[in-house]
Chains A and B, each alone.
Chain A
Amino acid sequence: MTGPVLRGDSLTVERGDSTILADVSITVEPDTSLLIQGPSGAGKTTLFNVLGLLSTPTSGSLYVHGDDTSALPERKRAVLRRDAIGFVFQDFQLIPDLTAWDNAALPQDHTRSRDEAWLDTLFDALDILDLKDQYPATLSGGEKQRVAIARALANRPDVVFADEPTGQLDPETAERVLDLLFRVKDQTDTALVVISHDPTLSDQFEETHVLIDGSLRRKSDERIPQ
């Protein structure tokens, strides 16, 4: 596959009189890792929603595989969310009435055909095979996070978005989760976009952007060579 997976062009989101995102442009290449940093209130979650096709920007265009999504009907946007994008939400967003396994299989269920072997691979890789029949209420934060990662990868997306994946975890668990994310990214050729306020993360990512007051700046010059 050639060309960027995702390209945002002059994305602007306004709520009432205030501008949450101002003219944000961003490109996500295949199989890269990208970190978006920013302090609280910078518009990180809004950017996450816009890039993940969860919200529609006030203006600007978002291209997935070079196709402009701004004119797409909701039906096609849903297909893109299902097949091209995976999410790891800040608060995991697991459905309490479903088991870990069924939660992870949710994106596959939208197509009504489960690829159990792939789920098995994912659960194995994430080391949660023995938790598959448990309900979210009985899982720890790190376990929930791993189920959420499995769900994000269930349909072999081209890009995975993770919103503060370590925000609710203790440093040790956070590190393990991040490692897992990178390992899975490497195994599945998926681009990884992580949104976080944690300034210590940037050294692991190929690209880092900083979002301040709705404006995005590339931080490549500050990147620490490995």
Chain B
Amino acid sequence: MRYATALLSRWSRREWLSIAVVAVTTAFLLGAALLLLTAATYTGTLSSDLSSSATVSYEQSYDDAVATASADEVVIAVTTVSLPDSETRRVVGIPPDAPRTISGASVAWRAATLPRPPSDGVSGPVSTVQQVEFVGPDNAVSTTVSPHRVEETLFPDSWYVADTDTVQQLGASGALVFDTGSSGAPSAPTSVPLIAALPFLAGGITQVVRTLSVAAFAGGLLILVVVYNVTKMSIRDRTRLIGVARATGASPWRILAILLGRVLSLTFVGVALGYALGVVVTNGVVNAATYAGLPVSLQTTVTPDIARSLLGISAFLLVMGLLAGVLAALPVVRGDPRFDQTHRATGRWPQPIRRFQAVASPTLVDWRAFTPTAATLAVFMLIILLTGSIGGALAPLATTSSGTVVESGAAHPLNSRIDESYATVLRSYGITASPEVIYAQTRGRTPYLVRGANYTAFSSVTDASLVAGTAPQRADQAVIGTDLARTLGLEVGETVTLGGSVTPGVRRVTIVGAFTGSGVTNDQLVVPLETTQPLATGPGTVHLIRTKNASSRLASLQNRSSGLLVTSLSGPSEVQTNATYRFGATVRNLGSSTATETVTVSVGNRTLERDVTLGSDESTRLSFETRFETAGTYELATDGVTRSVTVYRPNTLQLPSEYPTRAPPGSTLVVPATTPNESVVSGVTVTLDGRRATTNDRGGVPIRVPDEPGTYTLRLSKDGYVAEEHTLTVERGAPQRLGGRLTVSPSTGSRLTNPTVTARVANPWGRFLVRNLTLVSPGGTQTRTVELTAGNVSEIELSASEVGLGDDPPPGTYDLRLVVNGTVISTATYRVTGDERVAATLSSRGEYTEGTGIGRAIENVFGNVQLLFVVLVSLAGLSTIGGTTATFAQAVHANRRVIGIYRATGASRRRVLALLAADAVRLAIPAAVLSFGLAAALLWALARVDVLVVFGIRLAVPFTPLLVGVSALGAVCLAVCSAVIAATPFVRFDVGRLLHR
């Protein structure tokens, strides 16, 4: 075999190990890159109908803006005026030659329309034409203001639209410059896309890729360390071969070239394997996630663009491997040829230093292992710190005290449309809720998050607190997180231009306050809902409702994923003691599949249970029976539905509650004698002012009212019954009205409840009456004529839809009135509760999740983001273990003869391993300190140059004692484990082999 072949070939186990480490590192980097780049492509295809290159920027000087405008730019004068009511408003001046629409900024659902001023005067947010005096910066102008045309334009309705001349007369305070983007010229650093969603995603991905390059650098460092160490070992094993080759005249450069060939082929195999592994593993994870039914919307396909990026990373790693080879090989090709490893002499140090050396210096490895150890541990620290900072940034997304409600079945919170008023529903249940709009925004090239929210609500569901200024009072005011203010270079008092999110538009908001909060909370601009809705979700709709402290309530409901809900309880409202009380519970299955559940109804301090199985959207009525022993008022309750029952002793006489208390002299009343549950009692003695009568077998008896006005007592009595006494005022002119009772059953319901309304009218008088009966309900007014003979009762039952309560009434209180000939004789109230059970329904179909919308967004884009995170972090961990193992293997290999001597002179394997572990600790402690410093300094530097800002979110390294402790301990453990792994083969070898190899 020629010596060159001998130098190139013979790959031992450690070469294959290093190939594995290089492969894993490459796979980790390429896998992460592939995912992120695919996500970028994905958002590109997703938003193809949002693509727009049109931007808008605000210029301080209108004249300058006109002077410098290019052909494809439209300059619109802007000014602020005071109105007579001392309000300030914006006025835009549309030039006469302005295009109707900004080309390239229109989307299918909205044209990017520029408003046109009316031919005479200006248009504004008014309902009638009026004369208004505008006080501008330069002049006051009195003009005719007519209502805006009915059209959606790029500007908010609150702005006045005039022609350029009017604005210039008032004094233009600035200009909005629309760039249609057709020229392709670079836009101004503060220009804002008219539709920001796509630039937001694209810009964010660019930042992610930039951050990824930090990871690539770290991976490159690892590969450098591993390849260097392995090459060093291979060269050491061939010292004699190389020495003899050089002694016999081989050119050093030829030997270097041969050694680099060896390194290159090793690295190449590793990188190639890693490339395949990265692509395959990533696809595998995505496929597995899809197979497992996770909502993965990614298709990892290697397009030419992605392939270019991946090849770039691979090439970088290959170069790092080559560099390692040069570093490892240079010493043996420079200087005199050597045949054996040389040992430097240890100098003589003063006694105290030698004593310190004895403790601090390693026994079996030497300090040359320090640099690669520190480098590898720096990568390890970098990973820990980056993970910590990402965790810190995302911490608010994963809190258990907050949650998010989005639209049923929405694939992404951005696709969700949910009624803003749901927040009111949640609040009525004591849950803190904030309806919010996710508003993508880009300023220059920097994407950042705008949140459409009422700041008070926003701060109630987050930990945001104002540190400067005030909360927004008006639609054109905003508050900014302090981190974002730093990222964008904005201060309180500045006015920023916002583009639309998914609908083209322009808004100007003034930052009136700054707040701080943890993690991403601090990286947002909070703009009032009404400003963001028209350009993101539409009026009255939001993407999501964030809740706080609702978890225990909603999560307990969420656990009941069956979707079975009791919608109402029905049964008599009164019952005798010890009588059987029968009532029903109506159950509906709102879930998407058949479900079985036990319905539990609490009655007083007892509970009744019934199992029920229902298919999707089926409903049934369950019957329950119970008995009450003592009189009183009891509450039936299940699942947020309640009903009260009055329990009375059986032998009680009672007049209806609506029985007349006034009567004209000489009239006749029909007295109905009943028990409280309205069963008639015959043989009851009725007395009134000395008159006496006995009820017939239908429980009634007419009795004549005294002729003298005054106050009398109507008394009903019977042996064995509790008597009833009723005060009757006899007065002239007292009306002979019908008695009426209006009941809504149940009196409280949810949006899913269909209440029944019962109007009961009774004629308590001893004569035939014809009356007009009117029911006033949310459904309108219904009138009918009733004819009732003496003592007769009529009941009219109306369904929920007949009284306007049938069609999902919004939460609130509804009044119903029963009117007879213009006089209200009975009222009833029906309350629709903002519904915990609505939220339960949402949750049963998976719309409620813990965490926040952005967390969901990440989850939806990446499927199971935690799984990928774990995979990536483990791969990174494996790489660092590989790196430190290679380092220690090299160090041990260099001193294998010393280990041989130790073992030859009787040191046990355990002692050798213990010595090595102690050495690892000695090396790792200073290396950990150094590497922590290096990693922290690197992250600090990266943060300074804004590399660690992704989607406007600033990643801050949380230097908590815990993190520092974990990383330090982790580093030392890593070093010790690696040392033991690396040393194991050397303590297994024959001692003779160690000494004489």
- Whether A214 is near chain B, meaning CB under 8 Å from some CB there, is no
Closest to B912 in A: A78
CB-based contact A78/B346 at 8 Å: no
| Distance, CA A49 to CA B911, complexed state (A) | 21
CB-based contact A55/B346 at 8 Å: no
CB-based contact A78/B909 at 8 Å: yes
CB-based contact A79/B990 at 8 Å: no
CB-based contact A55/B991 at 8 Å: yes
Question: Nearest Cβ in chain B — how far from A153, in angstroms?
Answer: 11
Given contacts A49-B992, A83-B906, contact A106 B343 (CB under 8 A): no
Set of chain B residues within 8 Å of A155, measured between Cβ atoms? 906
Partner of A82, one of B345, B361, B905: B905
Known: A75-B909, A135-B348. 5 other contacts (CB 8 A): A55-B992, A56-B990, A78-B906, A93-B901, A110-B902
User: What are 21 A-B pairs with beta-carbon distances under 8 A?
Assistant: A49-B992, A49-B996, A54-B990, A54-B991, A54-B992, A54-B995, A55-B992, A74-B909, A80-B906, A81-B905, A82-B905, A82-B906, A83-B906, A93-B900, A94-B901, A96-B344, A97-B898, A110-B911, A133-B348, A135-B348, A151-B905
Set of chain B residues within 8 Å of A151, measured between Cβ atoms? 905
- Whether A63 is near chain B, meaning CB under 8 Å from some CB there, is no
CB-based contact A107/B905 at 8 Å: yes
CB-based contact B904/A55 at 8 Å: no
**Contact flags A23-56 to B (C-beta < 8 A → 1, else 0):** 0000000000000000000000110010011111
Set of chain A residues within 8 Å of B991, measured between Cβ atoms? 49, 53-55, 81
- Whether A138 is near chain B, meaning CB under 8 Å from some CB there, is yes
**Contact flags B981-997 to A (C-beta < 8 A → 1, else 0):** 00000000011110110
Set of chain B residues within 8 Å of A81, measured between Cβ atoms? 903-906, 991
Closest to B995 in A: A93
B interface bracket (residues with beta carbon within 8 Å of A) = 20 to 34
Set of chain B residues within 8 Å of A97, measured between Cβ atoms? 346, 361, 366, 898
Question: Nearest Cβ in chain A — how far from B986, in angstroms?
Answer: 13
- Whether B910 is near chain A, meaning CB under 8 Å from some CB there, is yes
| Distance, CA A137 to CA B345, complexed state (A) | 6
Set of chain B residues within 8 Å of A46, measured between Cβ atoms? 992
| Distance, CA A94 to CA B904, complexed state (A) | 12
CB-based contact A106/B910 at 8 Å: no
Set of chain B residues within 8 Å of A89, measured between Cβ atoms? 904, 995
A residues 115-156 near B (Cβ < 8 Å) are 133, 135, 137-138, 151, 154-155
B residues 238-265 near A (Cβ < 8 Å) are none
Question: Nearest Cβ in chain A — how far from B774, in angstroms?
Answer: 104
Set of chain B residues within 8 Å of A96, measured between Cβ atoms? 343-346
- Whether B897 is near chain A, meaning CB under 8 Å from some CB there, is yes
CB-based contact B906/A95 at 8 Å: no
- Whether A101 is near chain B, meaning CB under 8 Å from some CB there, is no
Closest to B908 in A: A78
| Distance, CA A80 to CA B993, complexed state (A) | 19
Partner of B907, one of A56, A110, A154: A110
CB-based contact B346/A135 at 8 Å: yes
**Contact flags B338-361 to A (C-beta < 8 A → 1, else 0):** 000001111010000000000001
CB-based contact A93/B908 at 8 Å: no
Closest to B991 in A: A54
A contacts, CB < 8 Å to B: 45-46, 49, 52-56, 74-75, 78-83, 85, 87, 89, 93-97, 106-107, 110, 133, 135, 137-138, 151, 154-155
Closest to A137 in B: B345
| Distance, CA A110 to CA B361, complexed state (A) | 18
B residues 548-582 near A (Cβ < 8 Å) are none
| Distance, CA A67 to CA B361, complexed state (A) | 39
| Distance, CA A81 to CA B906, complexed state (A) | 5
Set of chain A residues within 8 Å of B348, measured between Cβ atoms? 133, 135
| Distance, CA A94 to CA B902, complexed state (A) | 10
Question: Nearest Cβ in chain B — how far from A92, in angstroms?
Answer: 10
CB-based contact B990/A49 at 8 Å: yes
Given contacts A54-B992, A137-B345, contact A82 B907 (CB under 8 A): yes
Set of chain A residues within 8 Å of B995, measured between Cβ atoms? 54, 89, 93
| Distance, CA A148 to CA B990, complexed state (A) | 21
| Distance, CA A39 to CA B961, complexed state (A) | 67
| Distance, CA A107 to CA B903, complexed state (A) | 9
CB-based contact A45/B904 at 8 Å: no
Set of chain A residues within 8 Å of B902, measured between Cβ atoms? 106, 110
| Distance, CA A194 to CA B71, complexed state (A) | 101
**Contact flags B149-171 to A (C-beta < 8 A → 1, else 0):** 00000000000000000000000
| Distance, CA A53 to CA B995, complexed state (A) | 13
Closest to B900 in A: A93
| Distance, CA A85 to CA B903, complexed state (A) | 12
Set of chain B residues within 8 Å of A110, measured between Cβ atoms? 902, 905-908, 911
Given contacts A54-B990, A137-B345, contact A93 B897 (CB under 8 A): yes
Question: Nearest Cβ in chain A — how far from B990, in angstroms?
Answer: 4
Closest to A92 in B: B901
| Distance, CA A82 to CA B907, complexed state (A) | 7
Closest to A56 in B: B990
Set of chain A residues within 8 Å of B346, measured between Cβ atoms? 96-97, 135, 137
Residue among A78, A82, A96, A137 facing the most chain B CB atoms (10 A cut-off): A78
User: Which 7 pairs from chain A and chain B are nearest by CB?
Assistant: A82-B906, A49-B992, A137-B345, A55-B992, A54-B992, A54-B991, A96-B343
Question: Nearest Cβ in chain A — how far from B360, in angstroms?
Answer: 13
Closest to A157 in B: B906
Question: Nearest Cβ in chain A — how far from B60, in angstroms?
Answer: 72
Given contacts A93-B900, A93-B904, A95-B901, contact A55 B990 (CB under 8 A): yes
CB-based contact A78/B901 at 8 Å: no
Residue among A54, A94, A133 facing the most chain B CB atoms (10 A cut-off): A54
| Distance, CA A87 to CA B906, complexed state (A) | 10
| Distance, CA A79 to CA B909, complexed state (A) | 11
Residue among B346, B906, B993, B995 facing the most chain A CB atoms (10 A cut-off): B906
Closest to B358 in A: A102
Set of chain B residues within 8 Å of A106, measured between Cβ atoms? 901-902, 905
| Distance, CA A110 to CA B346, complexed state (A) | 23
Partner of B898, one of A49, A52, A79, A95: A95
Question: Nearest Cβ in chain A — how far from B406, in angstroms?
Answer: 64
Set of chain A residues within 8 Å of B905, measured between Cβ atoms? 81-82, 87, 106-107, 110, 151, 154
B residues 324-374 near A (Cβ < 8 Å) are 343-346, 348, 361, 366
| Distance, CA A154 to CA B905, complexed state (A) | 10
CB-based contact A45/B996 at 8 Å: yes
CB-based contact B904/A52 at 8 Å: yes
Set of chain A residues within 8 Å of B344, measured between Cβ atoms? 96, 137
**Contact flags B263-278 to A (C-beta < 8 A → 1, else 0):** 0000000000000000
Question: Nearest Cβ in chain A — how far from B369, in angstroms?
Answer: 14
Closest to B906 in A: A82
| Distance, CA A106 to CA B915, complexed state (A) | 13
| Distance, CA A115 to CA B900, complexed state (A) | 23
| Distance, CA A82 to CA B995, complexed state (A) | 16
Given contacts A89-B995, A137-B345, contact A107 B906 (CB under 8 A): yes
| Distance, CA A151 to CA B343, complexed state (A) | 20
Set of chain B residues within 8 Å of A53, measured between Cβ atoms? 991
| Distance, CA A155 to CA B344, complexed state (A) | 29
| Distance, CA A138 to CA B346, complexed state (A) | 10
Set of chain A residues within 8 Å of B996, measured between Cβ atoms? 45, 49
Closest to A94 in B: B901
Closest to A93 in B: B901
| Distance, CA A82 to CA B344, complexed state (A) | 28
Residue among B348, B900, B904, B996 facing the most chain A CB atoms (10 A cut-off): B904
Set of chain B residues within 8 Å of A154, measured between Cβ atoms? 905
Closest to B363 in A: A97
Partner of B910, one of A75, A82, A135: A75
Set of chain B residues within 8 Å of A56, measured between Cβ atoms? 990
| Distance, CA A133 to CA B354, complexed state (A) | 12
| Distance, CA A138 to CA B995, complexed state (A) | 22
Closest to B343 in A: A96
Partner of A78, one of B366, B900, B907: B907
